[in-house]
């Protein structure tokens, strides 16, 4: 089960809809699991650095090459 009832961010919802685990994203992007978890929760005030966003997008583009940063992050 994904989300565990927590309010999800755009990134969290996108992962849930595709059945992609946060662990997969952490491993693929080389971003810590706790950072990925924070970014997937809607109420956590966590703004990723540019470097973190780049790593995450590079990993997610393995699933969908057309993704953009503003699909997930308010930049």
Give the per-residue pLDDT at 1.
Answer: 45
pLDDT tens track for 23-43? 999 999 999 999 999 999 987
Give the per-residue pLDDT at 21.
Answer: 97
* Mean pLDDT over each residue of the chain, to the nearest integer: 90
Give the per-residue pLDDT at 27.
Answer: 98
- Please name the residue that has the structure tokens 């978890």: 37
Give the per-residue pLDDT at 13.
Answer: 94
Question: Using 50, 70 and 90 to split pLDDT, how confident is the model at 4?
Answer: low
Distance CA 12, CA 8 (A): 5
pTM: 0.87
């Amino acid at each position: 089960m994904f989300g565990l009832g927590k309010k999800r961010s755009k990134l969290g919802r996108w992962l849930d809809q595709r059945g992609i685990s946060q662990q997969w994203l952490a491993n693929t992007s080389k971003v810590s699991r706790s950072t990925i978890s924070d970014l997937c929760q809607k109420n956590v005030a966590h703004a990723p650095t540019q470097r973190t966003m780049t790593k995450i997008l590079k990993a997610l583009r393995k699933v969908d090459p057309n993704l953009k940063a503003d699909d997930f992050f308010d930049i």
